[in-house]
Each structure stands twice: as structure tokens, then as C-alpha cells.
Amino acid sequence: MALSHFVSMLPIKRVAIFGGTHGNEMSGVYLVKQWLKNETEIQRAGLEVRPVISNPRAVEKCTRYIDSDLNRLFGSEYLSAQETDSMPYEVRRAQELNHMFGPKGSEGAFDLILDLHNTTSNMGGTFIIGDSRDDFLLQMIHYVKNALAPTVCSVLLNDHPDLKYAPTRSIAKHPLGIEVGPQPQGVLRYDILDKMKKIVTHAMDFVQLFNEGREFPPCSVDAYKVIEAVDYPRCVDGDIAAAVHPRLQDQDWQPLKPGDPIFAGFDGRTIAYQGENTVYPTFVNEAAYYEKHQAFFNTIKVQIAARPIHVFQT
């Protein structure tokens, strides 16, 4: 392909790897702790790589957060809030992280943040992106997926205007969430930790190859695009009235057809999916989402094209 057809990008110079954005998601916590002691696995020539415990007080207490969910606090209203004695701990921490790795949206922000998460849902390894136009991230995901094959790594695209949020990783020019499960909160499973470690190390290999001048031709990535969040059926007092149906439990990324059961009511009633088209649920029965009134997300399959990229040599 003619060189002029490639999108030229500046080299990646600074990378942060966040673990413990949620303090009870243990794979990222322990990988970052390991890398803070010995960075050999993640360091690459010519790169500044910073492993970070992003919510240290929540990690210390092995809880998702102290006052509020850190992974929802990187919108301008929180990052620009005036500090007060009553400011929630995570809002203050969001401002600290933005100062250290941003400011968000500036030329001085870190190039790449890999934000490591665990889910209690049966999602396997999952990349989470909020922008289908980030050629660098899409090329990275394509590279890592091929490197991990035949192990499957799914891609979740959340650009839904009502469900999209400003996560911790959004400080960076290229923000990537890495979600691996199933793993209970506060529990460490070696197979899940090892899968996460392989994803990160392959991602760092991609960054090094890109910086060294490898050209990446156009590619496409299969993804699941969020279309809605589904809440549990509820009683008049707001309490849940049903659980995820056994036929849906652990079936993340599997097709859900109209009429298929989704909830089993405590009164013995089965509640079926009433949509008109086949969808693909994910984050099914995620423990952390009970407080968010979300039983699962419905997604549709999409294919995202990435333009060819190469590094701009200064």
C-alpha cells in the first residue's frame, strides 16, 4: 500500500496501567503491585510506563469505592469542582489522577491508559472502548486478539448517549478498559490474572512495534455495541422481584432471541425477552451493578473498520 494512504501518528511515549480503580477487583490490584516491584514485564524501550493503584483507599479496604464510584467521576463537573471539606474522597482522587496523567483533553495528557477491571459476569477477556474512530486502539485490539487466538477476547463498544460515562481511563488520548471475568469481588483467581497479564503484555508489544516503525494495514474488529441497559423487575417499593433466569445466567455474548427467558420471578413466573430482534447480553448479573439498577446490557453485533497506521518519524 502506498505510504500516503497510512494515517501518520506520533509515537506513544507515556503509558499508565491502572489497577484498583475498583478496590475489590483483585487481578488488576495484584498485577500493578507486582509491576511496582518489578516492571520488567511491562517496560519497553523508549517508553515511560507507570503502573498505578488508582484508588488506594478502596484497595486497602478491599471495597469497590469509599464514597462514590471513581470510574464515573472524570467529567468536567467533577474535575473542575472546588475542593471542600465535604468533597467525596473519589472526587478528590479523580482530580489528583487528572493532575498526574492529564489534564484530560490536553496535549500533555498521557498517550495511553490501560485500566484493569474484573467482572463477576462470565465475559472472559473484554476490551471496552467508547469511540469507534480511534484507529490506534482498534489496531492494538486487532493485534492482541490475534496474538491471543484461539482464546477469545470480545470488544464492547459503549458510545450510547444515555449510558456512556467518563471513566478513569478517559484522561488519556487513547483510553482502553480491560475487563476479565468471571471473578468474585475480593477474590483472586490465577487463571483470570494470567489472562489479564497476557492481554497487557501483548498490548505493550504492539506499542513497541508501532514506535519502531511497523506499519499496520487496514483491518476490522468485530464488536458488541451497547443499545440498552435492562433493570431487574421491581416491586412497588423498589426492591427486585426476580433474578436472572438460569438459562441466561453465564451466557454473556450468546444470542438472546425474542421470547427467550431472562428473569425468574420470586413468585414462580418466567419473564421473557420482549424485543423484536436478537441481541447479545453482557455484564449478566454483574454484582457491582445491582446498585446501578442494571441486570445486564443488551448489545448488537457490529464491525468497526480501522484505517492503516504508522508512526510519524520526527
Q: pLDDT tens across 45-102, in order?
A: 999 999 999 999 999 999 999 999 999 999 999 999 998 989 999 999 999 999 999 9
Specify whether the CB–CB gap between 17 and 52 falls below 8 A. Answer: yes
How confident is the model at residue 2, as a pLDDT? 45
Section 98-121 average pLDDT: 97
149, 94: one domain: yes
71, 95: one domain: yes
Q: Is pLDDT at 3 greater than 50 in this prediction?
A: no
53, 194: one domain: yes
11, 65: one domain: yes
Q: Is residue 170 part of a domain?
A: yes
pTM for the predicted model, two decimal places:
0.95
13, 109: one domain: yes
Instruction: Tell me the per-residue pLDDT of 11-38, one tens digit each, with 9 for 90 and over.
Output: 999 999 999 999 999 999 999 999 999 9
Q: Is residue 51 part of a domain?
A: yes
69, 14: one domain: yes
Instruction: Tell me the per-residue pLDDT of 137-181, one tens digit each, with 9 for 90 and over.
Output: 999 999 999 999 999 999 999 999 999 999 999 999 999 999 999
Q: What is the CATH number of the domain that holds 255?
A: 2.20.25.160
Look at the alpha carbons of 40, 32, 192, 301 in this order and tell me if their dihedral is positive or negative.
Answer: negative
210, 275: one domain: no
Q: How far apart are the first and last CA of the chain?
A: 22
How confident is the model at residue 314, as a pLDDT? 64
104, 141: one domain: yes
Q: Is residue 299 part of a domain?
A: no
181, 265: one domain: no
Q: What is the CATH number of the domain that holds 95?
A: 3.40.630.10
Q: Is residue 298 part of a domain?
A: no
The answer to whether 179 is a known catalytic residue is yes
Total number of domains constituting the chain = 2
The residues near 64 (Cβ < 8 Å, ≥ 6 apart) are: 22, 23, 24, 25, 58, 185, 288
Percentage of the chain surpassing pLDDT 90? 96
C-alpha cell at 48: 515511560
234, 213: one domain: no
Instruction: Tell me the per-residue pLDDT of 120-133, one tens digit each, with 9 for 90 and over.
Output: 999 999 999 999 99
138, 250: one domain: no
Q: Which of 25, 90, 179, 286 is catalytic?
A: 179
Q: Is pLDDT at 272 greater than 80 in this prediction?
A: yes
Of 2-6, 112-116, 188-192, 308-312, the poorest mean pLDDT is in 2-6
CA nearest neighbour of 245 among 223, 260, 255, 257: 260
What range does the domain containing 198 cover? 3-223+304-311
277, 177: one domain: no
How confident is the model at residue 313, as a pLDDT? 74
